[in-house]
Structure 1
Amino acid sequence: MSSSTEIHRETVPPRAPWSRVLEAGQTLTIVDLDGNQAVDFLAYDAHETSRAYSAQATLQEQGSIFLTTGSVLRDNESDPLLTVLSDDVGRHDTLGGACSKESNTLRYGHHTWNQHACAENFLRELSRYGLGKRDHVPNVNWFMNVPVDPDGALGIVDGISAPGLSLTLLAEKDTLVLVSNCPQINNPCNGFDPSRAEMVVHAGV
């Protein structure tokens, strides 16, 4: 975690959204307070929101499907938005996407339709900045364990995080960041029991 001046600290309840504009040079530390919690994440250039996090550009540039220390989250023009300065976990998912009512219904049955989902959290937070569905891009899933089989099949399995583990991101430019503290209860990404996450912003590295 950064040793510079702390300017914001907030605990995000299970299933809840969170957002903030990070100024260039500020850091955001995300803490998995209780362990085995997936934290879905989006990022946008704060001054030109059409420049959003791009999984394709990020993975192509780094040559890996996982994020960890040293990974650079890039926008759709391949410009850096955020850099992972430190990571206690070792790898984070870029492929699993955000749960939605539609995907829950498809995967787990129509009885899940009324369950809250990450897509709703993201749309709620995007609306605060004048953004909507067309601005919702594929997301990062911090702390989520999504192994990829040799045949390309994805699995969502028990997390490899633990209580108190964290990662720290450096804003390379003024960046709007959005979080959905994932409400999913139908697969093991949260240990079937969504829990808290903490957001800590520092003035610098």
Structure 2
Amino acid sequence: MNIVIIDTGCANLTSIQVAIKHLGYNSIITDNPSIILKAKKIFLPGVGTAAAVMKVLQKKNIINIIKELKQNVLGICLGMQLFFNFSEESNGIKTLGVMKYPVLRLKDTNLSLPHIGWNQIKFQIAHPLFKNIPNYSRFYFVHSYIVPINEYTLSTTTYGINFSSIIQKNNFFGVQFHPEKSGNIGSQLLKNFLEI
């Protein structure tokens, strides 16, 4: 299977590639439009700020290519947030706009930010992405911004407030956590995505 990890210039590209390799699949890290367009499955990773990653994607001239992909794409952490149309980060930044909702700063006075560590996900519907994953499984999170619960939400997580931890609109899937850092349960989710 032709699997592409889009080169967003982030630090976690190799750890995603290694996690995919453990499942018996090879992947390529690239920003080459023709290779991206020929891929069967695509990953959009993100670490850092929305502004920095959007700048990288703009410089590489692949924003429209990502928005118009017809293959299944999995956005990871910030990668998921970029699928929405606006982030409150950096006094407001326009993102990819695949889904028309804002990404909001996680506000909670009693809990430390960013939200770092293991937390549960709660399924909203049955879905092939959840095959062999029990409800309330724990995944590893690192983030300060959230996607509000909306019609594309597949699972929710609570950290002070409830937010979307997995989303899907058509061929665009997103997870707020890091499956590549979430042990066996994270591997199962990656496997499920690759086999959908």
- With CA pairs under 8 Å and 6+ residues apart, which has the higher RCO, 1 or 2? 1
Shorter chain as denominator, the TM-score bin is under 0.3
Q: In proportion to residue count, which structure has more helix? A: 2
TM-score, structure 1 normalization: 0.27
